[in-house]
Amino acid sequence: MKRYGAEFLGTFWLVLGGCGSAVLAAAFPEVGIGLHGVSLAFGLTVLTMAFAIGHISGCHLNPAVSIGLWAGGRFPANQLLPYIVAQVLGGMVAGGVLYLIASGAAGFDVSKGFASNGYGAHSPGGYSMMAALLTEVVMTMFFLIIIMGATDKRAPAGLAPIAIGLALTLIHLISIPVTNTSVNPARSTGVALFVGDWAVAQLWLFWLAPIVGAVLGAGAYRLIASEDK
């Protein structure tokens, strides 16, 4: 239960910090942090939580990461469901807290997106469904390769949180214009439920693509990292 609690709190922090930066600070008058700031915020949530709870739960904070680590032989199947439930609940509660904060400002309109992920008319850059699908698969695939490599017993000890946090920052710098960047079904679900409508209708892609990408990434890392016997 301590591990599940850690995953709940960690995912809460990821969604509140990452999506909160997008909703509250990205376009704030005159001092908005923009795409670069939002990208860094997401990376910092993972970096800080990896140091805080990595020794408790592994700091997955992401159903796709948990599934990818299982596919990579790093995580037991019997813990997948409770980890995923804890992560999704953490994301949803964070979405609720962010909604309460954001709605305290005059003119707040959740229908504008609320940091939700989307494609087509709801992609920040108007990218198609296929472009969004490919982006999310590839970004999550490389995220898993980096996670598995940075946490490999042969990697430099203690530096994994930095590599993983910077990887997530880079992923956002690349893909915010395409999908608003998911690579994390819990992050997507946590805010989409408050938007409803199109955000929920398109949510399937932000579950399917990250999971497919994570499994591919785990397989690719196992292939390149296996030691000759």
What's 196's domain CATH number? Answer: 1.20.1080.10
Are 12 and 91 contacting, i.e. CB atoms less than 8 angstroms apart? yes
pLDDT exceeds 90 at position 133: yes
Distance of CA 163 to the CA centre of its chain: 15
Provide the mean pLDDT of the chain. Answer: 94
% the chain with pLDDT above 90? 86
pLDDT band at 27 (very low <50, low <70, confident <90, very high): confident
CA pair distance 183, 210, nearest whole angstrom: 5
Percentage of the chain lying above the pLDDT 70 cut: 99
Per this entry, what is the length of the chain? 229
Compute CA distances 227 → 102, 154, 221, 222, 224, whole Å.
Answer: 51, 11, 12, 9, 9
Distance in angstroms (rounded) separating the CA atoms of residues 162 and 145:
15
The whole-model pTM stands at 0.93
Number of domains comprising the chain: 1
Range of the domain at 102: 2-225
The answer for residues whose C-beta is within 8 angstroms of residue 148's C-beta and 6 or more apart is 68, 69, 72, 74, 217, 218, 221, 222, 225
Q: Which amino acid is at 204?
A: W
Q: Is the pLDDT of residue 3 over 90?
A: yes
Alpha-carbon distance of 124 to 135, in angstroms, equals 14
User: How many angstroms separate the CA atoms of 220 and 164, rounded?
Assistant: 17
Can you tell me the distance from the alpha carbon of 161 to that of 151, in angstroms, rounded to the nearest whole number? 9
Can you read off the two tokens belonging to residue 158?
Answer: 């203690």
Helix (H, G, I), strand (E, B) or coil at 155: coil
